Chains A and B, each alone.
Chain A
Amino acid sequence: MNSPDSSHTARPAGIWRKVFSLDHKVIGRQYLDLSLVAVTTGMILSWLMRLHLAWPTRYIPFLGAISREATGGIITPEYYLSLMTMHGTIMVFFVLTTAPFAGFGNFILPIQIGAEDMAFPRFNMMSFWVTFVAFIVLVAAFFVPEGPPLSGWTAYAPLSAVGKDAGPGQGWGQTLWVISIGIFCIGQLLGSLNFIATTLDLRTKGMTLARMPFSTWAWFITAVIGLIAFSVLLPACVLLLLDRVAGTSFFIPAGLVISDRLQPHAGGSPLLWQHLFWFFGHPEVYIAILPGFGIVSHVLPAVTRKPLLGPRVFIVCMAAIAFLSYTVWGHHMFMSGMNPFSATVFSVPTLIITIPAAITTLLWIGTLYGAKMRFNTAALFCLGFISVFVSGGISGFFLAQPAIDSYLHGTYFVVGHFHFVMGVASMFGIFVGVYFWFPKMFGRMMNETLGKWHFILTFIGVYCIFMPMHWLGLAGNVRRYSAFTVDYMKGSIPLHRFITVAALFTGAAQLIFFYNLFRSRFRGEIAPANPWQATSLEWTTSSPPPHDNFGGHHPVVYHGPNEYGVAGKDGDYIMQNSPEPEPVAAAS
C-alpha cells in the first residue's frame, strides 16, 4: 500500500539512467564518492595550511601554477585564510554532513527497514545532484579573480557581508560561497524529507520503531535535526546574499569605514548573523556526529558478540541530545557582545547535554565488559571512536563554562576540541561504516591487514596532531592566525612544527586506506551475505543487494537488532527476520 515510485522496479539502462539513477544504493554511493573527493581536497588544503604555519616562507612547488593567489609558491596571509575557509567549509558540509548521513544512510537505511527504496526516489536523486552542484559552485570560488573567501566557514558579518571593500577573497569568492551553501541547504532538506518519510512509512511488517537498528534511529533523528537546522541556514544565506548584492542592511551597521570608504549600509546587526548561523551551527555538529553514534552502536554488538547495553536508553539519549542541541547555540557567542547574562543561561543546557553524551559513552564502554571482542578494522575504529570522543567531549566541558571560555575562546584549545569530536570522531564513524558495509556494498571484503595498519597509524597520528593543540590554547595561542609573529606566540612554533609533521604523517597513512578501497573493489575476496554474523536486515540479502534489495520478497521482522550473545543455538545471534523465538533467559 505504501510504495515508493514504481519507476525503479525495472532495471535501469543507459548512461542517463545510470548517472541520474533513482536507486538509493547508487545515490548513496554517489554521495560517498563526492565525500571522497571532498575529503581529499579538504585534507590537501589542511596540509598546505600546516606547512605554512610550520615554515611560513617556504616555497611550495606547483602552488604558484595552480593558484594565482600564491605567486611564487608562497602562501600569503590572505591565501592562508582562504585555504582555512575552504578547508572548514568543505569538510563540515561536504564530508561530515554528507558521508555519514546522506552517504551511508541512503544506501543502508531502506534495506535496514526492509523497504525497496526511499519514499521519494526522484527527490532523492535530485538531492544528490543539488549537493553536487553546490560543491561545484564552492570549488569555483577558488578560481575567481579575487580568490576564495577568507572569512572562515562561519562567515561572520560584516566581513562577509560588505563585499570586496573588505579585502581579498571577499568579492565573488564570498558570493559563490553563500550561493553554494544555500544550494547545499536545499539538497539537505530534500534528503531529510526522504529519510523521515521513508523511516515513518516504509517499514516492513514487524519492523516497529522499537525494532529499528540503532543506525536507522540515528539517521532518522539526524534527518529531523537537519530539517530544522538547514531551514534556518537557508534564510540566513538569503539575507547575507542580499546584503552583498542588493544593498540591503540586515547585518551591516552604519558608519563603517573599510578600505578608506564609508560603507553605504546602515542599521543592521552583525550579531543577528551569528544567532542565525549558530542556531544552525550547533545542531549541525550533532548532525555530523549522531550517525557515527548510530553506526558504532550498530557495529559494536556484532564485534563484541553481545547486545548493546541499554538499547532504549541509548535511543532516548540520542533524542535528548537532538532536542538539547537547539538550546545551546549561544555557547559559540559567549564573547560576542551579546548580553553577558545570556551566557550564563546558555551554559546551563550546554553542560546538561554532557549527561546524555556521557551516558552513551558509558553504555559503549559497558558493552565491552564481558564481551568476546573480534578486533577487525571496523571494531578497532569503534574503539578508537570511543577514545577520541571522550577526549573531545571532555575538552568541551571547559569551553561550556563562560568564565573559562573567556580565556580559551579563539585559541587553539577550541580547534583541538572540535577537531577531536568532528574531524576525528565523526571521521572514525565514517571509517567504521566503510569497513563494516564495504562487503555489503561491493560484494568484496576489504583487506584486514591494511585496515589495521590504517587504524593504528591514524589513531596515533590524530592524537599527535590534536592533543597538543589544547596545550597551545592554554598558552594563549590564537587560532586562524597565518603566522605567529607576535612576541608571546613565537615560542609555540616548535610545537606547531611537531603538529605539522604529525599531520603529514597521518595524511600519508590515509594512502593505505585509499589503496585498500581501490584494490578491494577489484581484488577483494568475494563477500558472503553476512560476513560479520550480524542480525540486521541488510545482512539477510546478497552482497551487493539486488536492485529491489530483497529479490522480490518482503522480509518479515520478529526481533530487534540486539539479539547477540544468545545462548544455546548454532551461532550466538538471532537475525531480525528469523522466526525462532528469543530464549526465555537470555545471556545474563
Chain B
Amino acid sequence: MGKVFAIVVTIITIVSTAIFVSHHWWMPPDVSLLGAGIDHQLSETMVTSGILFVVAQLVLAFFVWRFADNNDQRKIKIFPGGATPMVVGAIILVGAEILALTLVGSKIWASIYVASADPNSLKIDVQAEQFAYYFRYAGPDGKFGALHPELIDESSGNFFGLDPANDTAARDDIVAATLAVPVNTPILLELHAKDVSHAFYAPELRLQQDFVPGLVIPIHFTATRLIKSEIVCTQLCGLGHYNMRAYLEVMSADDFKKWLNEQSGQ
C-alpha cells in the first residue's frame, strides 16, 4: 500500500506541476502600467514554490517507497544530523526566500497601493451598490457635486443622490454604468459604497480593492492598451453578488471625449 501511495503522490505532483507550468489557466494579459511587477512577483513565487512542492512531495514518495517494513532485520536509521539540518535548512532557505520576496514585493505593493495618485489624474467617483456599479465623471466644470444619500432614487436614475436643483457642481456630473477611461492616462478612482461592503476587481488591471461603507477609498492605475474587459465584485454583498459586473473600456483619448459627450447628452 505504501508503494501505491508513493506512485499516486508522484503522479499527482507531475500532473499538477505540468498544468501550472502550461499556464492553461492563467491570468489574462496585463494592461496596466504597474501590473508587470505583480506578474513578476507571482512568477518568482510560482517557481520557488513549485520547486519546494515538487521536491517535498517526491521526497515523501521516495521515503515511503524505500523505507517500508519488509519484515527484515534492518535497523532503523536516524536522519543524518538529526533535527539540526531541518531547522537550519528551513531558517536559511525559507528565511532567505521570505526576505527576498518581501523586499521586492513590498515595493511593488507600495507603488500601487501606498503611493499617492498622480496629481494630474482623471478622477472618477465609483459607487458600488447591491448589485451594480456606477461611475461618475466631474463634467466640464471639473467639480463633483455633493452626495445626499437621502436623495438616492433608483427609478429616476439618481444613483448617487445628487441635488442638481440646488448644487451647481452637480449639474454637469456625468453618470455611467461603464468605466470608460482614456488610454495611457493616470486614473484616480474614489470608491464608496451605498449599502454594504463590495469590491472592485479588474484582473486585466491587476487591481482589486474593497468598498467599505462609511469610507472613501482611493485607488489609481494607468491603462496601457485598448481593451474592453470586466470589473466584478469579490466581496460578498448579497444574492446578486455573482451578477454584479461593469465593463471597463479603455479607449483612445478622442474616443473617450466622444463617449463623454454622448453620456452627458443622456
Check whether chain A touches chain B (CB < 8 angstroms).
Answer: yes
- CB of B1 closer than 8 Å to a CB of A: yes
Residues of B within 8 A of A336 (CB): 210, 212
Asked if A370 and B76 make an inter-chain contact with CB atoms under 8 angstroms apart, the answer reads yes
Asked if A410 and B234 make an inter-chain contact with CB atoms under 8 angstroms apart, the answer reads yes
A366 and B149 in contact, given A472-B25, A478-B232 (Cβ under 8 angstroms) = no
Asked if A257 and B60 make an inter-chain contact with CB atoms under 8 angstroms apart, the answer reads no
Residues of B within 8 A of A344 (CB): 102, 106, 109-110
A347 and B102 in contact, given A336-B212, A398-B42, A481-B242 (Cβ under 8 angstroms) = yes
- One of A270, A304, A306, A565 near B213 (C-beta < 8 A): A270
**In the bound complex, CA of A383 to CA of B59 (Å):** 12
Interface residues on B, range: 35 or more
- CB of A409 closer than 8 Å to a CB of B: yes
- CB of B263 closer than 8 Å to a CB of A: no
A339: nearest chain-B partner, CB-CB? B114
- CB of B252 closer than 8 Å to a CB of A: no
Asked if B98 and A352 make an inter-chain contact with CB atoms under 8 angstroms apart, the answer reads yes
- CB of B169 closer than 8 Å to a CB of A: no
Nearest CB of B to A391, in Å:
7
A476 and B149 in contact, given A268-B214, A368-B64, A380-B1 (Cβ under 8 angstroms) = no
Interface residues on A, range: 35 or more
**In the bound complex, CA of A356 to CA of B241 (Å):** 38
Asked if A460 and B86 make an inter-chain contact with CB atoms under 8 angstroms apart, the answer reads no
**In the bound complex, CA of A258 to CA of B195 (Å):** 5
- CB of A452 closer than 8 Å to a CB of B: yes
- CB of A467 closer than 8 Å to a CB of B: yes
Residues of A within 8 A of B101 (CB): 351, 401
Nearest CB of A to B227, in Å:
12
Residues of B within 8 A of A395 (CB): 49
Asked if A167 and B102 make an inter-chain contact with CB atoms under 8 angstroms apart, the answer reads no
- CB of A271 closer than 8 Å to a CB of B: yes
- CB of A166 closer than 8 Å to a CB of B: yes
Contact with B along A253-269 (1 / 0, CB 8 A): 11111101010000011
Contact with B along A478-506 (1 / 0, CB 8 A): 11111111111000100100000000000
Asked if A335 and B8 make an inter-chain contact with CB atoms under 8 angstroms apart, the answer reads no
Residues of B within 8 A of A152 (CB): 236
Segment of B178-186, B198-206, B253-261 in the binding face: B198-206
- CB of B128 closer than 8 Å to a CB of A: no
- CB of B56 closer than 8 Å to a CB of A: yes
Asked if A254 and B214 make an inter-chain contact with CB atoms under 8 angstroms apart, the answer reads yes
Nearest CB of A to B235, in Å:
7
Segment of B77-85, B118-126, B137-145 in the binding face: B77-85
Nearest CB of A to B159, in Å:
10
- CB of B165 closer than 8 Å to a CB of A: no
- CB of B154 closer than 8 Å to a CB of A: yes
> Which residues from 197 to 234 on chain B have a C-beta closer than 8 Å to any C-beta of chain A?
197, 199, 201, 203, 206-215, 217, 229-230, 232-234
**In the bound complex, CA of A77 to CA of B110 (Å):** 37
- CB of B113 closer than 8 Å to a CB of A: yes
- One of B28, B45, B63 near A404 (C-beta < 8 A): B45
Asked if B95 and A355 make an inter-chain contact with CB atoms under 8 angstroms apart, the answer reads yes
Asked if B38 and A456 make an inter-chain contact with CB atoms under 8 angstroms apart, the answer reads no
- CB of B146 closer than 8 Å to a CB of A: no
Residues of B within 8 A of A486 (CB): 230, 232, 242-243, 245
**In the bound complex, CA of A488 to CA of B60 (Å):** 38
A169: nearest chain-B partner, CB-CB? B239
Asked if A363 and B238 make an inter-chain contact with CB atoms under 8 angstroms apart, the answer reads no
Residues of B within 8 A of A105 (CB): none
A567 and B241 in contact, given A337-B217, A387-B9, A487-B230 (Cβ under 8 angstroms) = no
Asked if B239 and A467 make an inter-chain contact with CB atoms under 8 angstroms apart, the answer reads no
> Which residues from 352 to 400 on chain A have a C-beta closer than 8 Å to any C-beta of chain B?
352, 354-356, 358-359, 361-363, 365-375, 380, 383-384, 386-387, 390-391, 394-395, 397-398
**In the bound complex, CA of A471 to CA of B106 (Å):** 25
- CB of A550 closer than 8 Å to a CB of B: no
B202: nearest chain-A partner, CB-CB? A476
Asked if A150 and B213 make an inter-chain contact with CB atoms under 8 angstroms apart, the answer reads no
A262: nearest chain-B partner, CB-CB? B150
Residues of B within 8 A of A471 (CB): 19-20, 24-25
A252: nearest chain-B partner, CB-CB? B213
- CB of B31 closer than 8 Å to a CB of A: no
A372 and B76 in contact, given A256-B149, A313-B87, A347-B102 (Cβ under 8 angstroms) = yes
- CB of A329 closer than 8 Å to a CB of B: no
- One of A262, A374, A409, A572 near B208 (C-beta < 8 A): A409
Residues of A within 8 A of B240 (CB): 77
A159 and B238 in contact, given A401-B101, A406-B109, A587-B78 (Cβ under 8 angstroms) = yes
Nearest CB of A to B206, in Å:
6
B61: nearest chain-A partner, CB-CB? A387
- CB of A430 closer than 8 Å to a CB of B: no
- CB of B14 closer than 8 Å to a CB of A: no
- CB of A576 closer than 8 Å to a CB of B: no
Asked if B76 and A306 make an inter-chain contact with CB atoms under 8 angstroms apart, the answer reads yes
**In the bound complex, CA of A77 to CA of B5 (Å):** 40
Asked if A402 and B207 make an inter-chain contact with CB atoms under 8 angstroms apart, the answer reads no
- CB of A341 closer than 8 Å to a CB of B: yes
Nearest CB of A to B31, in Å:
13
Residues of A within 8 A of B94 (CB): 354-355, 358
- CB of A60 closer than 8 Å to a CB of B: no
- One of B63, B113, B129, B213 near A343 (C-beta < 8 A): B113
> Which residues from 65 to 99 on chain B have a C-beta closer than 8 Å to any C-beta of chain A?
67-69, 74-79, 82-83, 86-87, 89-91, 94-95, 98
Asked if B83 and A309 make an inter-chain contact with CB atoms under 8 angstroms apart, the answer reads yes
**In the bound complex, CA of A561 to CA of B73 (Å):** 24
Nearest CB of B to A174, in Å:
12
Asked if B105 and A402 make an inter-chain contact with CB atoms under 8 angstroms apart, the answer reads yes
- One of A151, A255, A365, A482 near B63 (C-beta < 8 A): A365
Residues of B within 8 A of A587 (CB): 75-78
- CB of B168 closer than 8 Å to a CB of A: no
**In the bound complex, CA of A526 to CA of B38 (Å):** 59
Asked if A410 and B105 make an inter-chain contact with CB atoms under 8 angstroms apart, the answer reads no
A456 and B5 in contact, given A159-B196, A257-B195, A335-B209 (Cβ under 8 angstroms) = yes
Asked if B60 and A383 make an inter-chain contact with CB atoms under 8 angstroms apart, the answer reads yes
Nearest CB of A to B86, in Å:
4
Max chain B Cβ within 10 angstroms of own Cβ: one of A150, A309, A370, A380 = A370
Given A268-B214, A371-B69, A472-B25, 18 further pairs, Cβ under 8 A = A157-B197, A257-B195, A310-B82, A337-B209, A337-B212, A344-B102, A359-B90, A369-B78, A370-B77, A375-B1, A387-B60, A406-B38, A406-B206, A407-B208, A459-B8, A487-B230, A488-B230, A587-B77
